């Protein structure tokens, strides 16, 4: 949960999808530096999904 909270409250990158859902990414050093992607519903609070995003590249 701590990793998810890190991505929600201190993301390195954020995008809003066409359907209003919010994508946020955070690098997790404890997981080998992988990027955790969380998807929040339109309200910006409700967690929809969280997973390590192998294709994400920091811009």
Domain range for 35 is: 2-52
pLDDT, mean of each 10-residue run, the chain (59 residues): 97 97 98 97 97 89
Domain count, the chain: 1
Domain annotation covers residue 57: no
Domain annotation covers residue 26: yes
Residues 15 and 2 sit within 8 Å (Cβ to Cβ) = no
Domain annotation covers residue 58: no
Domain annotation covers residue 7: yes
What is the structure's pLDDT at 58?
79
Domain annotation covers residue 59: no
Euclidean distance between CA atoms 34 and 50, whole angstroms: 13
- Tokens at 38, concatenated: 């969380």
Which stretches within 1-59 are classed as H helix?
2-9
Domain annotation covers residue 44: yes
Domain annotation covers residue 23: yes
């Amino acid at each position: 949960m701590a990793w998810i909270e890190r991505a929600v409250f201190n993301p390195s990158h954020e995008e809003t999808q066409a359907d209003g859902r919010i994508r946020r990414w955070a690098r997790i050093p404890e997981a080998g530096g992988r990027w955790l992607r969380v998807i929040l519903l339109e309200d910006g609070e409700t967690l929809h999904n969280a997973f390590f995003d192998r294709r994400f590249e920091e811009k």
